[in-house]
């Protein structure tokens, strides 16, 4: 059984394919969405998802979130005295999803198709694959989120010669992909995006408005208060639909603060974010050689597209109503499940050919010589340009830059800047060349980039025929299988919160948070409910514990 996973910045989902189509697998709490939040306590117990989110209010120093934005980097998160890389935290999310899938399906799961933002570069994609391996999953295929959504929408079953724009605004990343259907081939024409733009940024805008109206300096807030404010802003954002204004309240500085925020005011404050959305759209159209009128259909995916503010902006921009018939939170996961079924060659799934593109330009560092004879190093020469259909292979010839040069060093880079120093260093090769006058000796550099984001580089000396090859894994992607196994062993001491305890732990954490946020009679009533629930848990009376848990939730849900 191969499962499909949407490993998101804000929420993650797991799905599988049935004879009736793709199905989302509910998590241990019976919900489709698992918040991409991890908490580790002093005893090494891991809390994932909604339970970790509740712990954030009480133990903010033990919780990490939005770490997908840092995938592939050397950043580390300190949780309860231990350090974790973003891919290690992601592996804990994946491990929990794997366990949920195995419990639901009643069989072991060892392989998965995982989605990644289309604009993820080489190091981020390989970090995602490593996260899967650390979770005990074989990840032979990663699929771009917009492509997965296109599959979920059945765009490959539409009429031929149709162009689609997939607008993917998630919690932390933003992608625009243009796809074209020709016969049974779904071809990605171009991708663009921003790895640091998403729904979370709109939440931060509401936070800022709240602080401005109350005159409170954010730096003066404690870690708990900052978490409390973020949660209130997130809730306010989600309830903004179809309202002219919203009342946002939060207990800060030992006082209950309350402000009214107009939707127009919020929209005005978000103008800069909306402009950031516009730029990747323009770039993707330009790279595909198309204009807005050439797009036949538009699809919205990602939870942030549910914001009416974003939809209104989108309709103004495209002058057409987008297709959002599938839940934007679930479209990518459903697409990964279909891709998994294709990989299994399931007969129920229509065979199709999908092409993808290289999201970033791949090239090398070169020396430039100007007409006056001045030589300047540090320039960038593209070899495979962004949005080239992959797999792709291209060869460029380069010449020696000085007399009697006996070596040539090829620095392999990824990025769009004219200057080598501003692009991502992936690796390098060095070859020896016969000494000669400058420009008389040459090398052919061949870049081959495949569908799994592996880059093979070959450098061949033209005069001697001697060549060197290497497969690029990237500066931050150097873990061997042995090192991965060793790190898996190191992480094995972490214990995912037991499934049968999850509901009870979540209820207690939520109640503790609400107890801290309330005062007076409501606080006393809540305390009594917590005590009754804890007493039932201590007695081990499952039936009574279920009854008291439901009663506690009723108390918490009361206005």
Rounded Cα distance between 541 and 188, Å, is 57
Q: Which two tokens stand for residue 556?
A: 């918490």
Lowest mean pLDDT among 219-223, 411-415, 541-545: 541-545
Per CATH, the homologous superfamily of domain 159-325 is ATPase, nucleotide binding domain (3.30.420.40)
pLDDT bin (cut points 50, 70, 90) of residue 475 is very low
User: Rg of the Cα trace of the chain?
Assistant: 26
Examine the pLDDT at 380 and tell me if it is beyond 90: yes
Strands (E) across 160-254 are located at 162-169, 174-182, 185-194, 245-252
What is residue 450's predicted lDDT score, i.e. its pLDDT?
A: 76
Mean pLDDT of 95-121: 92
What is residue 321's predicted lDDT score, i.e. its pLDDT?
A: 87
Rounded Cα distance between 481 and 242, Å, is 52
What is residue 476's predicted lDDT score, i.e. its pLDDT?
A: 39
Handedness of CA 289, 293, 299, 303 (dihedral sign): positive
Q: Are 437 and 403 within 8 A, CB to CB?
A: yes
Rounded Cα distance between 204 and 500, Å, is 35
pLDDT in tens, 277-292: 988 999 899 988 999 8
Using CA atoms, how far residue 226 sits from 193, 211, 250, 516, in Å, is 29, 11, 10, 14
pLDDT bin (cut points 50, 70, 90) of residue 272 is very high
pLDDT in tens, 41-75: 988 888 999 999 999 888 988 999 999 989 988 89
Examine the pLDDT at 499 and tell me if it is beyond 80: no
Q: Which of 414, 404, 408, 405 is CA-nearest to residue 383?
A: 414
- Tokens 């954490």 correspond to 509
Rounded Cα distance between 166 and 285, Å, is 12
pLDDT above 70 coverage of the chain, percent = 92
Question: At 57, is the secondary structure helix, strand, or coil?
Answer: helix
What is residue 474's predicted lDDT score, i.e. its pLDDT?
A: 41
Q: Are 28 and 496 within 8 A, CB to CB?
A: no
Examine the pLDDT at 497 and tell me if it is beyond 60: no
Rounded Cα distance between 77 and 361, Å, is 30
Examine the pLDDT at 414 and tell me if it is beyond 60: yes
pLDDT in tens, 451-466: 666 788 999 999 999 9
Highest mean pLDDT: which range of 172-176, 362-366, 554-558: 362-366
pLDDT bin (cut points 50, 70, 90) of residue 437 is very high
Q: Which of 402, 211, 179 is CA-nearest to residue 296?
A: 179
Q: Which two tokens stand for residue 361?
A: 């330009």
pLDDT in tens, 163-178: 889 999 988 889 889 9
pLDDT in tens, 182-208: 777 778 888 888 888 999 999 999 999
Q: Within 71-163, where are the H helices?
A: 86-105, 122-134, 145-152
Q: Are 59 and 223 within 8 A, CB to CB?
A: no
- The DSSP string of 314-379 is HHHHHSSPPB--S-TTTHHHHHHHHHHHHHTT-TTSPP-EEEEE-SS-EEEEEEEE-TTS-EEEEE
pLDDT, the chain, mean:
87
Q: What is the CATH number of domain 1-153+328-352+479-497?
A: 3.30.420.40
- CATH topology for 362-472 is Substrate Binding Domain Of DNAk; Chain A, domain 1 (2.60.34)
The pTM (predicted TM-score) of the whole model is 0.78
pLDDT bin (cut points 50, 70, 90) of residue 364 is very high
Q: Are 169 and 304 within 8 A, CB to CB?
A: yes
Lowest mean pLDDT among 91-95, 256-260, 327-331, 468-472: 468-472
What is residue 337's predicted lDDT score, i.e. its pLDDT?
A: 94
Q: Which residues pair with 178 in a beta bridge?
A: 165, 190
Q: Which of 193, 172, 196 is CA-nearest to residue 360?
A: 193
pLDDT bin (cut points 50, 70, 90) of residue 388 is confident
Axis-axis angle for helices 86-105, 481-491 (nearest 10): 70
Active centre residues (catalytic):
6, 68, 145, 168
What is residue 453's predicted lDDT score, i.e. its pLDDT?
A: 65
Lowest mean pLDDT among 128-132, 362-366, 475-479: 475-479
Q: Which two tokens stand for residue 142?
A: 């990663």
What is the C-alpha end-to-end distance of the chain, expressed in Å?
45
Lowest mean pLDDT among 48-62, 267-281, 306-320, 324-338: 306-320
Rounded Cα distance between 434 and 442, Å, is 10
Q: Which of 463, 471, 464, 431 is CA-nearest to residue 447?
A: 471
């Amino acid at each position: 059984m191969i499962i499909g996973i949407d490993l998101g910045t804000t929420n993650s989902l797991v799905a599988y394919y049935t004879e009736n189509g793709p199905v989302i697998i509910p998590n241990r709490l019976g919900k489709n969405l698992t918040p991409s939040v991890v908490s580790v306590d002093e005893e090494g117990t891991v809390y994932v998802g909604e339970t970790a989110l509740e712990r954030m209010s009480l133990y903010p120093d033990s919780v990490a979130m939005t770490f997908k934005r840092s995938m592939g980097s050397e950043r580390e998160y300190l949780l309860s005295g231990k350090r974790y890389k973003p891919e290690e935290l992601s592996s804990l999310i994946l491990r929990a999803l794997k366990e949920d899938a195995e419990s639901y399906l009643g069989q072991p799961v060892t392989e998965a198709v995982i989605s990644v933002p289309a604009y993820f570069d080489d190091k981020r994609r390989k970090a995602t694959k490593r996260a899967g391996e650390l979770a005990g999953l074989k990840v032979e295929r990663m699929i771009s989120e917009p492509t997965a959504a296109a599959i979920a929408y059945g765009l490959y079953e539409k009429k031929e010669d149709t162009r689609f724009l997939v607008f993917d605004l998630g919690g932390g990343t933003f992608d625009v992909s243009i796809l074209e259907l020709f016969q049974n081939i779904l071809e990605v024409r171009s991708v663009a995006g921003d790895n640091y733009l998403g729904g979370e940024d709109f939440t931060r805008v509401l936070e800022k408005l709240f602080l401005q109206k109350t005159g409170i300096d954010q730096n003066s807030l404690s870690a708990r208060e900052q978490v409390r404010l973020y949660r209130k802003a997130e809730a306010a954002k989600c309830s903004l639909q179809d309202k002219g204004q919203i009342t946002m309240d939060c207990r800060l500085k030992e006082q209950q603060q309350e402000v009214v925020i107009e939707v127009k005011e919020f929209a005005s404050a978000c103008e800069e974010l909306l402009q950031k959305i516009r730029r990747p759209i323009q770039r993707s159209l330009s790279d595909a050689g198309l204009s807005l009128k050439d797009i036949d259909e538009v699809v919205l995916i990602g939870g942030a597209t549910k914001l009416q503010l974003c939809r209104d902006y989108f309709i103004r921009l495209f002058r057409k109503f987008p297709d959002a018939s599938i839940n934007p939170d679930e479209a990518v996961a459903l697409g990964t499940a279909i891709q998994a079924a294709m990989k299994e060659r399931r007969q129920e799934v229509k065979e199709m050919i999908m092409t993808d593109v290289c999201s970033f330009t791949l090239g090398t560092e070169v020396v430039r010589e100007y007409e006056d004879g001045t030589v300047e190093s540090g320039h960038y020469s593209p070899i495979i340009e962004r949005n080239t259909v992959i797999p792709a292979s291209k060869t460029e010839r380069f010449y020696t830059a000085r007399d009697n040069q006996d070596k040539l060093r090829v620095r392999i880079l990824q990025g769009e800047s004219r200057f080598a120093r501003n692009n991502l260093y992936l690796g390098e090769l060095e070859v020896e060349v016969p000494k000669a006058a400058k420009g008389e000796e040459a090398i052919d550099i061949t870049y081959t980039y495949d569908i799994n984001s592996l880059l093979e580089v070959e450098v061949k000396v033209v005069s001697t025929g001697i060549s060197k090859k290497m497969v690029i894994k990237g500066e931050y992607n150097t873990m061997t299988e042995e090192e991965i196994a060793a790190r898996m062993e190191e992480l094995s001491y972490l214990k995912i919160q037991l499934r049968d305890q999850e509901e009870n732990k979540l209820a207690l954490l939520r109640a503790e948070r609400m107890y801290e946020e309330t005062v007076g009679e409501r606080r006393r009533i809540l305390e009594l409910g917590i005590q009754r629930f804890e007493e039932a848990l201590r007695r081990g009376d499952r039936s009574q514990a279920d009854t008291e848990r439901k009663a506690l939730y009723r108390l918490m849900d009361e206005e």
